[in-house]
Amino acid sequence: MSTKTDKIDRLAELTATAEVSTGNSLWVEAWRRLRQSKMAIIGASIIAVFVVLAVIGPWIAPYDPTAQLWRGEVFTNRNLFVGPRAENWLGLDHLARDEFSRLLIGARQTLLVGIVATLLGFSVGALIGGTSGAAATLGGRLGQRIDTVVMRVIDMMLALPSLLLAVTIAAVLGQSLTTVMIAVGVVQIPIFARLLRGAMLAQGGKDYVIAAQALGVRNRRVALGHVLPNSLSPVIVQATLSLATAIIEAAALSYLGLGNPDASEPEWGVMLAQAQEYFDSAPMLAVYPALGIIITALGFTLLGEALREALDPKLRS
């Protein structure tokens, strides 16, 4: 638990204390450095391709992803498969469904789960972390007590392995795509909460906060109008990195059978699970969705790391 929380607190502290010496705003400087970062360009390019394919997939997919294209004798024995050919670029799966079409359509579900889960974790986590951080910074003794109670609950959530917590939530709520979104989103909540709270604590001792208090500005206005906006940088960076984690965890839950109950609907985690039985005879059925998951997660990770370096001069290479 200490290792995970220390990393979160360190990211909050480093980003919150970043200063730009050129006179431009932090975000202007970050955008300039992002445009010059090869890592950011590669990550953004991967994400752009993934998003475009997810959006236009239903229109460019050559076949219905649930339709069986050939009911021949080859599918009586499920150890035989039709490989890549002119009419099926990636071949057919064990039920004679076009693999390329299923990958394209499956990208949309994967993107939807990742975005919704991250937005859920970001929204609830930022609300909890912002409230706790404001209470600890400007709320006096009562605020510090509230912050202590909230952080102990967050620490208990962080102490649990994320995948184990997600599996437990998904098993309790039942099998559905919505369940996967909720389970993955709940896992993200303590990370965002602790990160924003740490950044707000780092901002609480700044000169502008002390000056505002000396001028008689209300604590609520100081917290919402000054401390909170200046503490969002590490949370935004974490949101980008969490998209990669959300995609992997959603695929893992689908692989374990906790995702969409309709197994005919294409989703990369479900496709990976279905291919496991035929891995010896048709390993590419597992390789295709696995590569999709890995490359997409890599894109979000590269962009997140580049954004973190751009926002924090101490981390610039």
pLDDT of residue 74: 44
| HEC string for the chain | CHHHHHHHHHHHHHHHCCCCCCCCCHHHHHHHHHHHCHHHHHHHHHHHHHHHHHHHHHHHCCCCCCCCCCCCHHHCCCCCCCCCCCCCCCCECCCCCEHHHHHHHHHHHHHHHHHHHHHHHHHHHHHHHHHHHHHHHHCHHHHHHHHHHHHHHHHHHHHCCHHHHHHHHHHHHCCCHHHHHHHHHHHHHHHHHHHHHHHHHHHHCCHHHHHHHHCCCCHHHHHHHHHCHHHCHHHHHHHHHHHHHHHHHHHHHHHCCCCCCCCCCCCHHHHHHHHHHHCCCCCHHHHHHHHHHHHHHHHHHHHHHHHHHHHCHHHCC
Reported confidence tier of residue 97, pLDDT bands at 50, 70, 90: confident
Report pTM: 0.79
Reported confidence tier of residue 109, pLDDT bands at 50, 70, 90: confident
Rounded to an integer, what distance in angstroms lies between the CA atom of residue 112 and that of residue 108? Answer: 6
Mean pLDDT of 22-41: 75
Q: Which comes out higher in pLDDT, residue 179 or 259?
A: 179
Report, in angstroms and rounded to the nearest whole number, the Rg of the chain calculated over CA atoms: 23
With a cut of 70, say whether residue 42 has pLDDT above it: yes
pLDDT of residue 5: 62
pLDDT of residue 125: 92
Q: How many domains does the chain have?
A: 1
pLDDT of residue 159: 87
Locus of tokens 């071949």? 91
Q: Please give the backbone phi and psi of residue 37, each rounded to the nearest 5 degrees, phi first.
A: -90, 120
Mean pLDDT of 276-281: 80
Q: Which comes out higher in pLDDT, residue 78 or 269?
A: 269
CB atoms within 10 A of CB 66: 15
Reported confidence tier of residue 10, pLDDT bands at 50, 70, 90: low
Q: Please give the backbone phi and psi of residue 98, each rounded to the nearest 5 degrees, phi first.
A: -65, 120
Reported confidence tier of residue 271, pLDDT bands at 50, 70, 90: confident
Report the CATH number that the domain containing residue 95 is assigned in CATH.
1.10.3720.10
With a cut of 50, say whether residue 89 has pLDDT above it: yes
- Write out pLDDT tens, residues 177-211: 888 899 999 999 999 999 988 888 888 777 777 77
Range of the domain at 135: 2-315
Rounded to an integer, what distance in angstroms lies between the CA atom of residue 145 and that of residue 296? Answer: 42
Token code pair at residue 206: 């700044």
* Average pLDDT value over all residues in the chain: 81
CB atoms within 10 A of CB 183: 26
With a cut of 60, say whether residue 98 has pLDDT above it: yes
pLDDT of residue 158: 87
